[in-house]
Amino acid sequence: MTETKTPTKPDIVELAKKKRYLHLLEKVQTGKALSSVELRELSKYESPLGPGELETKEQVAAAFGVAIRTIHYWIRQGMPVSPNGRFDIGKIQEWRLSTGQKKNTEVILNREALDTRLKEIRIKREEAKLKKELGELITKYDVEKVMNQLITVFKRSFLSLPRSLAPQLVGLEPREIEAIISARIKEIIISFSQGKKLFK
């Protein structure tokens, strides 16, 4: 029913770089000091963003602990956006304080807390990319696609029972009919659990 794709081999050098980058970020996040060599190495991995800069609205939402729709609202209300389309956390926080765009549950005044949160977001994003490349992470779309296929096959198998069994059941006793139907249902369930019908 579906074609199985041969997974592409991940680039070992790129995977090693990503693992090293994650290691350095985790070291920073846990408060361990980096050597000058490690700092230079980390700067190579980092994107060309300035300190406290974010690239996307989603990152801003995550940093301030709000929904993405809140960020859209803030932009309409005049939230600062750099000419290059990036977002400066410090300027956004100053704007929020000066315009009263804050709620008690959302206030994050500590710059270190924002930086820590940003590093956590970067680590999680890099871990997700790495897991996806290693084949350890399956997208929601892929899971839903397979589940829909399984359900469709299961449903078709049961809906075809009357047509396929009717000729065999003519003139039989109720116990014989029950035994044949039960055997066929068990066969469908076993076949379904092993995924035989789906991938033939």
Average pLDDT over residues 24-53: 65
Per-residue confidence (pLDDT) for residue 194, from 0 to 100: 73
Per-residue confidence (pLDDT) for residue 106, from 0 to 100: 44
Give pLDDT tens digits for 90-108: 788 888 888 776 543 344 4
Give pLDDT tens digits for 128-177: 888 878 877 777 777 888 888 888 887 888 888 888 888 888 888 889 88
How many Cβ atoms sit within 10 Å of the Cβ of residue 62?
A: 19
Backbone angles phi, psi at 53, to 5 degrees: -95, 145
Per-residue confidence (pLDDT) for residue 64, from 0 to 100: 75
Share of the chain above pLDDT 90, in %: 0
Query: Is the pLDDT confidence value at 70 over 50?
Result: yes
Q: Fill in the DSSP letter of residue 77.
A: T
Q: Fill in the DSSP letter of residue 87.
A: E
How many Cβ atoms sit within 10 Å of the Cβ of residue 138?
A: 11
User: 3-state SS of 169-181?
Assistant: HCCCCHHHHHHHH
* Domain residue extents for the chain: 12-134, 140-199
* pLDDT, greater one: 95 or 8: 95
Per-residue confidence (pLDDT) for residue 131, from 0 to 100: 81
Share of the chain above pLDDT 70, in %: 72
Q: Is the Cβ–Cβ distance between 102 and 94 less than 8 Å?
A: no
Q: How confident is the model at residue 8 (pLDDT cuts 50, 70, 90)?
A: low
Q: Could you tell me which residues come within 8 angstroms of residue 7 by beta carbon, excluding any fewer than 6 positions away?
A: 135
Instruction: Cite the beta strand spans of 14-163 per DSSP E.
Output: 53-54, 87-88
